[in-house]
Amino acid sequence: MPGMINHEKAFVKLFSQTARYHHRFKVFEDFISCSVIALENRLHFSEAQEQKYLRIVGGYEKEDVTRMAQLLAHVVNGLGEAPGDFLGRVFMQLELGDKYRGQFFTPWDVARMMAAMQLGDTEALFRDKPFITLSEPACGAGCMVLAFADVLQKAGWPPHRYLWVSATDIDPLAAGMAYIQLSLCGIAGEVVVGNTLANERRRILYTPGHYLGGWPVRLDPRYLQAA
C-alpha cells in the first residue's frame, strides 16, 4: 500500500543519524540496554536498573535520546506488521556482527522451516498437554523462538497460551535483543544471560507475557498435577 513505512529501512537510516559522536556498536548496545530496561521496569520496577538507564542516556544529547525512542517505535511497528527477527536483520544490515564470535543470525525462512519440522503435528502435540515448553540454549536475537511462536499461531495455537520459553545466550547484547523481541511479540518465558554448557545463569529476565499469562502459577508442579 502507498505510504506504508519500511520500518527496517527507517530504523537503519535513523540509526545512522543517531549519536555520530559515539562508535556504532556502542550506540546499538546502549539502545538495546535502554529498551530492555524500559520494558522490564514496566512490570517489575528496579531502581538499580532505572539508575543504569539514566547513566546511559546521560552520555547522549537530548535529540539522540529522542531518536532512541523512535528506534524502538520502529521495532514495535515492524514486529507488529510482520513476524520475524527484526533486530537480527538490522544488526546484520548495520554490519555490527562479530565474525569471530559467530554472530550470524539465522534467516527467517530457514528458522520457520526448522520450527515447522520440529513441531510436526500440533494437534497430536497438544492432545494430552495444556502447553509446551521450549528451551533455546543459544538463542541469539530469538529468531528460532519467534519462528516456533509463528508456526503455532498459524496452526491455531496462540503462543501466549500454549508456549513457555527458556532462552539463553552467553552474549548480553544478543540476550537483550531476544528479550525485546519476545516481549513485544507477547511470548511468555525467561531470557537468561549465561552459559548453557556450564549451567551458568548470570541474569534472568522474565518477559511481560510470563507475568500477564499467569505462568508462575501454571509452571508450578502442584498446578500441573491438578490440571
Rounded distance between C-alpha atoms, residue 121 and residue 119, angstroms: 6
Cell, residue 197: 554448557
pLDDT at 97: 73
Q: What are the residue boundaries of the structural domains of the chain, listed by start?
A: 7-101, 108-226
**How confident is the prediction for the chain on average, in pLDDT?**
93
pLDDT at 20 over 80: yes
pLDDT at 105: 76
Q: Which of 13-17, 34-38, 94-98 has the lowest mean pLDDT?
A: 94-98
Rounded distance between C-alpha atoms, residue 18 and residue 81, angstroms: 24
Condensed to tens digits (0 to 9), the pLDDT of residues 164-176 reads: 999 999 999 999 9
In Å, the largest CA–CA distance within the chain is 58
CB atoms within 10 A of CB 104: 12
Cell, residue 207: 518477559
pLDDT at 210 over 70: yes
Rounded distance between C-alpha atoms, residue 131 and residue 84, angstroms: 23
pTM of the model: 0.93
pLDDT at 80: 94
Q: Predicted confidence band at 5 (pLDDT cuts at 50, 70, 90)?
A: confident
In CATH, the architecture of 108-226 is: 3-Layer(aba) Sandwich (3.40)
In angstroms, what CA-CA distances link 29 with 87, 121, 141, 173, 176? 12, 39, 13, 6, 9
Q: Predicted confidence band at 1 (pLDDT cuts at 50, 70, 90)?
A: very low
Condensed to tens digits (0 to 9), the pLDDT of residues 45-103 reads: 999 999 999 999 999 999 999 999 999 999 999 999 999 999 999 999 998 876 545 56
